[in-house]
């Protein structure tokens, strides 16, 4: 079986500066991989490259069987990226947002309701505009949108940021359930203890390169 | 998911955002009406002059308001990274373009109705029975063209630094043909200065061609424009 992510000596440039400088990484289906490393090391760029948002300048990059150097748009509908921004519409309610993002992949009303339930959004928060939520509640809503989108590869940048203890536990159990169901998860995080306990493998991103970390 | 389904989804979402935020009703409509009032002040409330220039002023006020609505529709997408999320969601960019243009056209149509009403009240504009078909066709063609251009240039400026000042600079010269064509066709429909409806139909050709060019071009180019 082909790996979900296969990067070989990948170079990528962002705003004229090298964001990835010969990154090599292989991720198998069902893995939860923690990317750790200092700020500016290239963790976010690595996730954006895997999501097809950052162009491959050199090297080989295959995600979910799609050659990113040839066409980086083909993979997009199959991955879910949660970056520093949540990708939500502040004037719409929680339910509106989850319904909208679920609808982009043709999710059924039952799947959308299950996604909201999964992230603890049922009942009181559903009809509240996202602009009135706390940072943690917005993060939960964004995660529910990701669940509703049924992504095969989850790319999460600091997903625990802003979540309370309950939200963190729900997130971890959601990621474990997604991985058990066959999805692959890559998490960039500075919260090494929590994310490390969740991950099946840890790698370090430094200077745009990826190094394995012994556990 | 097909381009048309995506377009419907995006249009419904944009109109729902407007319905919930009421920015068009509470801010853009008062702004547009204020522009019409200011024109009347500037032209010294001279009935004959105001009636003569009313079609041009209505379309000029529409252009100014278009800038505000386009800024708003893309600010909603970029505020929390939703435009990025749409790209990652793999939705067809052509569908996003058509959906946003559809929602923009619906908002512009509502705005134009109010502006036409303001022209009747403030500038003593009168409708001619024989010009109604031309007037409706002018509004349809011009609104479609403006919506396509607005969406295309809004997407182009969305990721740029200083987009608030860049957008008018890029867009106003491009919509000049719509301003000219729509004004002449509206003058013909209203019988301004002895013009007849037959004088207006050649301008409809220009407006339709403009809308078709930007509709097709925008659908094809939107993906590259919003891509990093």
Asked if A159 and A189 touch (Cβ cutoff 8 Å), the reply is yes
Q: Which residues of A touch B89 (CB under 8 A)?
A: 76-77, 101, 104-105, 149
Residue B228: band (very low, low, confident or very high) from pLDDT cuts 50, 70, 90:
low
Strand ranges for A15-107 from DSSP E? 17-27, 32-36, 58-63, 66-67, 79-82
As a whole number of angstroms, the distance between CA A83 and CA A67 comes to 22
As a whole number of angstroms, the distance between CA A208 and CA B23 comes to 44
As a whole number of angstroms, the distance between CA A209 and CA A60 comes to 14
Q: Which of residues 54-73 of A touch B (CB under 8 A)?
A: 54-55, 73
Q: How far is A214 from chain B (nearest CA, A)?
A: 32
Q: Which residues contact B100 (CB under 8 A, 6 or more apart)?
A: B10, B11, B14, B73, B151, B154, B155
- Split into its structural domains, chain B has a count of 1
Between chain A and chain B, the number of residue pairs with CB atoms below 8 A apart is 76
What are residue A71's phi and psi, to 5 degrees?
A: -155, 105
* Cβ of residue A16 closer than 8 Å to a chain B Cβ: no
Mean of all residue pLDDT scores within chain A: 89
Kindly list the structural domains of chain A, giving each domain's residue range(s) and its CATH number in brackets, ordered by start: 5-212 (3.40.50.300)
| In the block, residue with structure tokens 């659908």 | B219
pLDDT at B12: 97
Kindly report, residue by residue over A20-32, the tens digit of the pLDDT.
Answer: 999 999 999 999 9
* Sheet hosting strand A5-14, strand order edge to edge: A17-27, A5-14, A58-63, A66-67
Q: Which residue, among A12, A85, A94, would best test binding to B if mutated, counting the most B CBs under 10 Å from its CB? A: A85
Q: How far is A114 from chain B (nearest CA, A)?
A: 19
Query: Helices A94-103 and A135-148, interaxial angle, to 10°?
Result: 30
Lowest mean pLDDT among A14-23, A173-182, B42-51, B56-65: B42-51
Q: Which domain holds residue B173?
A: 3-226
Kindly report, residue by residue over B109-133, the tens digit of the pLDDT.
Answer: 999 999 999 999 888 888 888 889 9
Which residues are registered as beta bridge partners of B6?
none
Kindly report, residue by residue over A59-88, the tens digit of the pLDDT.
Answer: 999 999 999 999 888 898 889 999 888 999
What predicted TM-score, i.e. pTM, was given to this entire model? 0.88
pLDDT at B4: 92
| In the block, residue with structure tokens 């990721």 | B159
As a whole number of angstroms, the distance between CA A101 and CA B86 comes to 9
As a whole number of angstroms, the distance between CA A160 and CA A84 comes to 11
Answer yes or no: do B87 and A85 touch at CB < 8 A. no
What are residue A78's phi and psi, to 5 degrees?
A: -105, -5
Kindly report, residue by residue over A41-66, the tens digit of the pLDDT.
Answer: 899 999 999 999 899 999 999 999 99
Answer yes or no: do A54 and B81 touch at CB < 8 A. no
* Cβ of residue A135 closer than 8 Å to a chain B Cβ: no
Kindly report, residue by residue over B151-192, the tens digit of the pLDDT.
Answer: 999 998 887 777 788 899 999 999 999 999 999 999 999 988
Q: Which residue, among B3, B6, B19, B85, would best test binding to A if mutated, counting the most A CBs under 10 Å from its CB? A: B85
Q: For the residues A135-139, what does the mean pLDDT come to?
A: 84
Answer yes or no: do B80 and A88 touch at CB < 8 A. yes
The residue of chain A nearest to residue B16, with distances taken between CA atoms, is: A92
Q: For the residues A1-21, what does the mean pLDDT come to?
A: 89
Sign of CA dihedral A35, A40, A44, A49: negative
Nearest to A53 among B1, B16, B228 (CB): B228
Residue A215: band (very low, low, confident or very high) from pLDDT cuts 50, 70, 90:
low
| Residue B210, burial from CB neighbour count under 10 angstroms (0-12, 13-18, 19+) | buried
Q: How far is B36 from chain A (nearest CA, A)?
A: 29
Answer yes or no: do B1 and A80 touch at CB < 8 A. no
* DSSP three-state, residue B170: helix
Asked if A184 and A30 touch (Cβ cutoff 8 Å), the reply is yes
Residue B84: band (very low, low, confident or very high) from pLDDT cuts 50, 70, 90:
confident
Rg (CA), chain B: 18
Answer yes or no: do B16 and A92 touch at CB < 8 A. yes
Answer yes or no: do B17 and A91 touch at CB < 8 A. yes
* DSSP three-state, residue A105: coil
The residue of chain A nearest to residue B88, with distances taken between CA atoms, is: A76
Longest dimension (CA), chain A: 49
Mean of all residue pLDDT scores within chain B: 91
Q: What is the interface pTM, i.e. ipTM, of the complex? A: 0.87
pLDDT at B1: 78
* Pairing state between β A184-188 and A153-157: parallel
Kindly report, residue by residue over B12-26, the tens digit of the pLDDT.
Answer: 999 999 999 999 999
């Amino acid at each position: 079986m082909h790996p979900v992510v296969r990067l070989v000596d990948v170079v990528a440039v962002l705003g004229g500066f090298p964001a990835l400088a010969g990154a090599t990484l292989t991720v198998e289906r069902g893995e939860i991989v923690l990317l750790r490393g200092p700020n500016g090391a290239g963790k976010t760029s690595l996730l954006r490259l895997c999501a097809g948002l950052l162009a491959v300048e050199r090297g080989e990059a295959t995600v979910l069987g799609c050659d990113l150097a040839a066409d980086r748009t083909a993979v997009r509908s199959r991955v879910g990226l949660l970056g520093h921004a949540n990708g939500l519409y502040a004037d719409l309610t929680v339910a509106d947002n989850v319904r909208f993002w679920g609808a982009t992949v043709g999710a059924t009303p039952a799947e959308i309701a299950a996604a909201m339930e999964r992230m603890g959004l049922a009942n009181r928060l559903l009809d509240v505009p996202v602009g009135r939520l706390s940072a943690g509640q917005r993060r939960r809503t964004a995660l529910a949108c990701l669940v509703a989108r049924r992504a095969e590869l989850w790319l999460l940048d600091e997903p625990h940021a802003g979540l309370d203890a309950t939200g963190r536990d729900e997130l971890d159990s959601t990621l474990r359930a997604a991985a058990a169901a066959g999805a692959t998860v890559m998490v960039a995080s500075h919260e090494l203890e929590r994310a490390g306990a969740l991950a099946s493998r840890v790698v370090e991103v430094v200077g745009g390169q990826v190094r394995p970390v012994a556990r | 998911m097909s381009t048309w389904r995506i377009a419907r989804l995006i249009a419904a979402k944009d109109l729902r955002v407007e319905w919930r935020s009421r920015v068009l009703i509470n801010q853009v409509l008062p702004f547009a009406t204020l522009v019409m009032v200011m024109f009347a002040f500037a032209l010294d409330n001279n009935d004959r002059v105001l009636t003569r220039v009313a079609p041009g002023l209505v379309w000029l006020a529409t252009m100014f308001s278009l800038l505000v609505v386009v800024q708003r529709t893309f600010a909603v997408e970029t505020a929390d990274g939703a435009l990025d999320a749409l790209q990652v969601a793999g939705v067809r960019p052509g569908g996003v373009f058509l959906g946003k243009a559809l929602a923009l056209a619906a908002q512009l149509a509502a705005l134009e109705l109010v502006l036409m009403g303001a022209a009747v009240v403030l500038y003593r504009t009168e409708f001619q029975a024989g010009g109604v078909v031309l007037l409706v066709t002018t509004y349809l063609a011009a609104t479609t063209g403006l919506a396509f251009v607005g969406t295309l240039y809004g997407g182009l400026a969305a990721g740029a630094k200083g987009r608030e000042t860049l957008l008018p600079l890029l867009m106003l010269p491009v919509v000049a043909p719509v301003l000219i064509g729509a004004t002449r066709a509206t003058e013909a429909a209203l019988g301004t200065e002895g013009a007849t409806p037959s004088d207006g139909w050649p301008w409809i050709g220009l407006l339709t061609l403009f809308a078709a060019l930007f509709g097709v071009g925008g659908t094809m180019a939107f993906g590259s424009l919003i891509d990093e």
